[in-house]
Amino acid sequence: MSDELRYEKLDVLMRLAIKMQASAQGITLQDIAEESGKGHRTAQRMRDALLRAFPQIEEKIDPDTRRVHLTIPHGGLGRLSAIRAEEISALHRAAELLRREGDAGTADMLQTLSDRVVGAVDRPLRNRLEPDIEVLMEADGVALRPGPHEDLDKAIMHQLRGAILNGVWITVEHRTRAGQLTWNVRLGPLGMLLGQGRQYLVAWSEYAKAVRLFALAGFEKVELTDEIFTPPEGFSLQAYAHNAFGVWQEEPEDIAWRFSATVAKDARTYRFHPTQTIEDQPDGSLILRFRAGGLQEMTWHLARWGGEVEVLEPPRLREMLRELGAKLAV
C-alpha cells in the first residue's frame, strides 16, 4: 500500500471518530460504509480498526432497529479533534459563497459560528491558527468570482427558516416576477432551493393543493401561525430537487447528450445531475445520460457549450436548442 493510500485511510478513520463524538446517536456500520465509499466487509474492518485505536468507544444497540451505534463520549478524543485552519477557512468560504448568492442571514450565522469555534480553543493554538487562516482566506478570495445575485431580505429569510424549523403554516404577501402581488396566501414551507440564479421556497400551497415554488425575492411579508403544518406523506426535498435539471419541475425524461472529443475532458469535471452516467466513446467523445425535467434550463446551459455538444434525447430538447440558436443569431 502506498503512503498516499495509508494517509487517505487514516484521514477517513479520523473523520469517523470525530463523527462518533459529534453525534448524539453515534454512527452505524452503514454510516461507515457511506463515509468511506467502501463495501460492507471493508466497513467491518474499519470498524474493528476504530475499536482497536479508540478503546473509549461505546457500543449502543438501538432497540427498534437492533443496529449497533458507536459513540465517543464528549471530549473523549482530546486534542486529536483540535480545530484546523483549513476548517475555519472553509466556514469563511461557505459564508462568502452564501453572501454572494444573496443569503446574508445564513452567512452571518456561519461567521458567528466561526468566531465561536476559534474563541473556544486555547490561546496558544489560536495564535498558531490565525496566521494560517488569514493566508487561506486570501487564497479563497481569489476563487470567489463576482457575478449577479439576488439580494434577499434578512428578516424574511429569518422568518422562513423559523417556519421550516418549527413546522408551522405561514401567511404571506408575495409578488411574482410580472409584478402581481398576492396577499394572505397560506403556505406550508418544506425547504429552500438555493444556488445560482433565483432562489426559491418549496412549499405546499393551500390554494393549489400541491407543492409549488415561490421566488424568495418575491416575499414582501411573512407571518408565522400557531398551526402545525404536516408535510405531504412521503415527500422528500432531495427527491423533489432531483426531478429537475435546475429548479423548474416537469415530468422527468431520459436525457442524453454527446460532448465532442474537444470538450470531453472538461465536461467530465462537471456534475450535471445526481443520477448521471458517463459513456466514453471510441472517438474520444463522451455520452452523458440522466433522467430529469427542466428542458428550458437545460437549453440555457447547453448554449454555453456552443457546437461542442449534441442532444441525442429527447428530440424536443434538440428542437428547443435549435430555436434558441436561431433567436441568438438574429
Q: How far is CA 51 from the centre of its chain?
A: 32
At residue 259 the predicted structure's pLDDT band, cuts being 50, 70 and 90, is very high
pLDDT for the residue numbered 4: 45
Report the alpha-carbon distance of residue 220 to residue 174 in Å, rounded.
Answer: 6
Estimate the crossing angle of helix 295-302 against helix 315-329, to 10 degrees. 50
> Angle 154-159-163 (CA atoms, 0-180°, nearest 5)?
145
Dihedral angle of Cα 126, 128, 130, 131, to the nearest 10 degrees: 170
Question: How far, in Å, CA of 148 to CA of 134, rounded?
Answer: 27
Mean pLDDT of 281-296: 93
- Provide the pLDDT for residue 5: 47
How far apart (Å, rounded) are the C-alpha atoms in residues 290 and 237?
19
Let me know how long the chain is.
Answer: 330
Ranking 125-129, 166-170, 184-188 by mean pLDDT, the lowest is 125-129
Q: What domains does the chain contain, in order, with CATH numbers?
A: 3-80 (1.10.10.10), 84-143 (no CATH), 154-234 (2.30.30), 253-329 (3.30.70)
23-73: pLDDT as tens digits: 878 888 888 888 877 788 888 888 888 888 777 888 888 888 888 888 888
List, for residues 202-230, the tens digit of each pLDDT value. Answer: 999 999 999 998 989 899 999 999 999 99
Determine the residue type at 172: V
pLDDT of residue 98: 76
> What angle do helix axes 104-120 and 154-166 make, rounded to 10 degrees?
80
- Taking residue 85's Cβ as centre, other Cβ atoms within 10 Å add up to 18
Q: What is the pTM of this model?
A: 0.56
DSSP codes joined into one string, 26-65: -B-HHHHHHHHT--HHHHHHHHHHHHHH-TT-EEEE-TTT
Q: Which residues, 6+ apart, have CB-to-CB distance to 212 below 8 Å? A: 202, 203, 204, 205
pLDDT band of residue 155 (cuts 50, 70, 90) is confident
Provide the grid cell at 287. Answer: 455520452
Residues 252 and 293 sit within 8 Å (Cβ to Cβ) = yes
95 or 261: which leads in pLDDT: 261
Residues 6+ apart with CB under 8 A from 177: 215, 218
Please report which confidence band the pLDDT of residue 2 belongs to, taking 50, 70 and 90 as the band edges: very low
pLDDT at 134 over 70: no
Asked whether the predicted pLDDT for residue 77 surpasses 70, the reply is no
- Banded pLDDT at 188 (limits 50, 70, 90): very high
Residue predicted with more confidence, 248 or 30: 30
pLDDT on residue 53: 75
